[in-house]
Amino acid sequence: MARIELSEIAHSYLPNPKEELDYALKRIHNTWEDGGAYALLGPSGCGKTTLLNVISGLLTPSSGRVFYNGKDVSGLPPEKRNIAQVFQFPVLYDTMTVFGNLAFPLQNRGLPSSKIAQRVHEVAEILDLTPFLKKRAAGLAADAKQKVSLGRGLVRRDVAAILFDEPLTVIDPQLKWDLRRKIKEIHEQLKLTFIYVTHDQVEALTFADKVVVMYEGEIIQIGTPQELFENPEHTFVGYFIGSPGMNFLECTLDGNVARVDGAGIKLDEETAALGRNARGKLEVGIRPMYLELSSGPVENGVPAQVRAIEDQGSYKIVALTLAGKTLRARLPEGKPVPDGKVWLGFPLQRIKLFADGRLIS
């Protein structure tokens, strides 16, 4: 089990990187606490697999250092760092039985066979694989195979961290939930450092205690699922998390009012003051569930046009046009939706102001 520190990591796949765009990882500097359940969340191409490979040692970063429990492991390959990795598709030794697969890492370490057998049985028990031990690994279903992959990591008692690279990709939808729950259970049981890479926010938010959001090679926010939802520090976090994501409107500041193409959204004193001192493109952000819809004019309400309504069962998504831009509101089931022209209410405390994509606070 290890506490992993990434110090000033930057990486480019090109031999002679010149500008920022050439870097897959721009500047990563953070700590992964021992025993934490982390999700590394981000869209495809943001660099999360690159970062995972830097952590595991499969990739040596162009610059920066990696520390495990204070020890500099930057020069060490994965096998010396003692990490384990579960890949997007099951990676097994086809010709071996499940027992053979689980025993393999221990055999390579030279453990006596009695110890190996004992440990393999322990891990198989945890993963519900005991009835399959004598079966050929190649014949199992995809989710069982992923468990075997996980097992090969757990079998080493002193494993530093277990890294998951989108492990549910090839699993059937009905089984995804089961497997995700199992992984969470194992984390609670063993308290190992788990780092789970995914582009699916639902997976990330349900699995992790702390979510690390990445965008274009940088970590833009680390926080609990609640923190990410309530206080996104970057417009991307606001947009990516939540379904649907946060609404953004470009605006200019006029006293206490954010002006969006003629319409005015009232801000509270604090936010307005911060906005006045900020530099760069200003955007107002609000989550769809906080937008209030009224058929008649309300104080501080902003007129908008209803374009479409999607009924999702327990809630409805209403698409609206405001000053030429599309907004989405999320209403609970049963709440009537006015037709045509409506007035939007922006509750003061729910409005977030962003400058150049970053939350002003």
Least separation in angstroms between residue 109's CB and another protein is 6
Q: What amino acid occupies position 342?
A: V
Distance CA 114, CA 196 (A): 32
Q: Name which of 136 and 350 has its Cβ closer to another protein.
A: 136
Do residues 11 and 59 touch, judged by C-beta distance below 8 A?
yes
Least separation in angstroms between residue 147's CB and another protein is 15
Least separation in angstroms between residue 66's CB and another protein is 16
Distance CA 56, CA 50 (A): 10
Least separation in angstroms between residue 95's CB and another protein is 5
Q: Name which of 33 and 79 has its Cβ closer to another protein.
A: 79
Burial class from Cβ neighbours inside 10 Å (0-12, 13-18, 19+) for residue 78 reads middle
The secondary structure element, H or E, covering residue 223 is: strand 218-223
Least separation in angstroms between residue 91's CB and another protein is 4
Q: What is the DSSP string of 231-293?
A: --SBHHHHHHSSSS--EEEEEEEETTEEEETTEEEE--HHHHHHHHH--S-EEEEE-GGG-EE
Q: Which residues of the shown chain bind another protein in the complex (CB under 8 A)?
A: 56, 58, 77-79, 83-85, 87-89, 91, 93-96, 104-105, 108-109, 138, 149, 152-153
Q: Name which of 139 and 297 has its Cβ closer to another protein.
A: 139
Q: Name which of 83 and 212 has its Cβ closer to another protein.
A: 83
Least separation in angstroms between residue 272's CB and another protein is 52
Neighbours of 153 (CB within 10 A): 21
Distance CA 79, CA 310 (A): 51
Q: What amino acid occupies position 66?
A: V
Q: Name which of 79 and 261 has its Cβ closer to another protein.
A: 79
Residue spans of alpha helices (H) in 127-207: 142-154, 173-190, 201-207
Least separation in angstroms between residue 53's CB and another protein is 9
Residue 131: asked if its preceding bond is cis (omega within 30°), the reply is: no
Q: Name which of 150 and 260 has its Cβ closer to another protein.
A: 150
Q: Name which of 43 and 77 has its Cβ closer to another protein.
A: 77
